[in-house]
Structure 1
Amino acid sequence: MIFSIDPGSEKTGIAVLRDAGDLITKKIIPTESLTECLAETYTALPFSRIVMGNGTNHRHLRPVVEQWIAGRMEPIAFSLVDEKFTTVEGRRLYFKYTPRHGWRRFVPLSLQYPPEPVDDFVAWIIGLRYIRQQGGNL
């Protein structure tokens, strides 16, 4: 399994994917709780790889992740993934998986922004990008 991170300064998106790209879980957490989230998620869903977007705030969170990995007995690989245009893709994915209600149903998607953050969807996209880079068929 893959633990995917969309690093941010105040909030961070995380997603856990199977190696084939199937989403297991995703959520948005406060950035300062990343270490606790890694530990809790690993206990429930042991993953063998962590991937992180190379955009906003990765320079601050990379050492946090590497320190957490260093404290593990099990080997966990770490990779950075190009994060270019993932926010735009995250918005599209949000509308694909989140039904629109009320007036939003009548306004073209090209004119709408999601009413909530999409960092969790972006983390999912970062994980999918990693799988594609490794030659996975998605």
Structure 2
Amino acid sequence: MLFAIDPGSEKTGTAILREDGSLVSRQIVPTGTLAEHLTRQYAHHPFSHIVMGDGTNHRHLQPVAEAWIRTHHPEITFSLIDEKFTTVEGRKLYWKYTPRHGWRRLVPLSLQYPPEPVDDFVACIIGLRYLHSQGGVT
């Protein structure tokens, strides 16, 4: 399994994906709790790789993830992946998993923004990009 991270300054999106690209779990957590979140998630869904988006805040969170790996599971590998346009793709994925109700069904998706943060869906996109770059998911 793969643990994907969309690094943010206040909140961080996370997702766990199988090698076939199917989504196992997704969450948004306070950025300062990433190490604890990794420990909790690993206990339920052991993963073998961590991938993080290379956006601005990765400079703060990459050392956290790498320290967690060194301390707890040195066999886990780590990589960065291009994060360009993942927010736009994450919004589209949000609507795929969250059907529109009421007036939202009448307004074209191109004119709507999700009513809640999509950092977890962005993490999923980051994970899918990594799998695609490895010759996995198309």
TM (normalized to structure 1)? 0.97
**Given the alignment of the two structures, is residue 78 of structure 1 paired with residue 78 of structure 2, yes or no?**
yes
Q: Name the structure 2 match of 1:98.
A: 98
Note if contact 2:13-2:26 (Cα within 8 Å) is conserved in structure 1: yes
3-state SS in 2 of match to 1:71: helix
Moved over 2 A (4+): none
Give 5+ residue unaligned stretches, structure 1: none
Q: Name the structure 2 match of 1:15.
A: 15
Give 5+ residue unaligned stretches, structure 2: none
Q: Distance in 2 between matches of 1:41 and 1:96?
A: 24
CA root-mean-square deviation: 0.9
Distance 1:107 1:43, change over 3 A: same
Q: Name the structure 2 match of 1:113.
A: 113
Q: Distance in 1 between matches of 2:67 and 2:9?
A: 18
3-state SS in 2 of match to 1:60: helix
Note if contact 2:54-2:81 (Cα within 8 Å) is conserved in structure 1: yes
Q: Name the structure 2 match of 1:45.
A: 45
Task: Report Cα offsets for 1:61-104 as digits up to 9, x if no partner.
Answer: 00000100001245000000000000000011111111111111
Q: Aligned pairs, how many?
A: 138
Calculate percent identity across the aligned residue pairs.
Answer: 68
